[in-house]
Amino acid sequence: MALSERQVAGLLADTRRVVAAEESLGWVTDKIEFEDVYPTLLKSLCRTAPPAREAAMARLEGEKRAAGDPAALFQRASGEITDEVRAALSASRRLGALGLANERGRTECPFWIPVDTEFEGLQTDRNRLTFNVESGGVFLLRAAAAEWTVGGGGFARLLSAWGFNGRWTLLLGPEFGGGALVRPSGDEGSGVSPTYIAATPIIGRIRDLAWHYDVELAPVGLFETNNTRVSYGARVATTIGFSALFTQSFIPWAGASLGYEYYFEGGGRPTTHFLRGGLRAGLSWDP
């Protein structure tokens, strides 16, 4: 079977991702850690043809040589774990982890996992369409007509996404949420004001192994229980998230977000500003 660069890149991406996840939990003994990551790596390796596996091994061997011997670098650094030592350790671990999977995979690949000539990796959204569900809690701080109001609520969104080479992702879709804001002193009625916010976020996501960093822009609309006329505005926000490993067609993640919304005067409301922040979680589904 001919060598597929796509398979090589997908297998390397998964190897880096799986080893990084294991390192984040605290890598102690190679023998134990290699066994821990083996079942996960095998699911990726079995989807690639033997030439792609050998090419991936050759590239990891090159990375290990370029990074140097971690033990020698550790001694040279007077017993300190420097960035250079960490890089060399990671390169050695990637090679060892894939080497074990490659050796056993010759006889242990399950018959129900076929070779995928278009394999891009399981632990990534490289060059394909995925669907994402996100939700979370939100702390709200509103400023309008020189009055400050605080409250909290939640939101849910459904996003379609396209991944570019495992590094960049573009997401787009509808969002709806709401919250209860404490009424400013002197307002009539109850002590809280139910507020609802609809949006269509456009998100640029940068991926760095297990971490991702979002920049979000969105048109937004706001209405309230006691005033259903809509005020329109815009949002800018940022999110940092940490993803778990792929499982059963999903990649789960969790993170924190901070954003700002500006609403133009209209809908019976003055110019309004919102600061919003909170924790969120999501699932990326690869159909």
Tell me what pLDDT residue 70 has.
Answer: 95
pTM of the predicted structure, to 2 decimals: 0.86
The tens digit of pLDDT for each residue in 163-183 reads 998 899 999 999 999 999 886
Domain boundaries, the chain: 5-108, 129-285
What is the spatial distance between Cα 246 and Cα 242, in angstroms, rounded to a whole number? 13
Residue 247 has pLDDT above 90, yes or no: no
Q: Which of 155-169, 182-196, 198-212 has the lowest mean pLDDT?
A: 182-196
Q: What is 129-285's CATH number, 2.40.160.20, 2.30.38.10, 3.40.50.80, 3.30.750.24? A: 2.40.160.20
Length of the chain: 287
pLDDT tens profile 59-108: 999 999 999 999 999 999 998 999 999 999 999 999 999 999 999 999 99
pLDDT at 72: 94
Q: Is the pLDDT of residue 190 over 80?
A: no
Six-digit token string for 186: 């002197």
pLDDT of amino acid 249:
83
Residue 149 predicted with pLDDT over 80: yes
Q: What is the overall mean pLDDT for the chain?
A: 92
pLDDT band at 126 (very low <50, low <70, confident <90, very high): confident
Calculate mean pLDDT across residues 247-263.
93
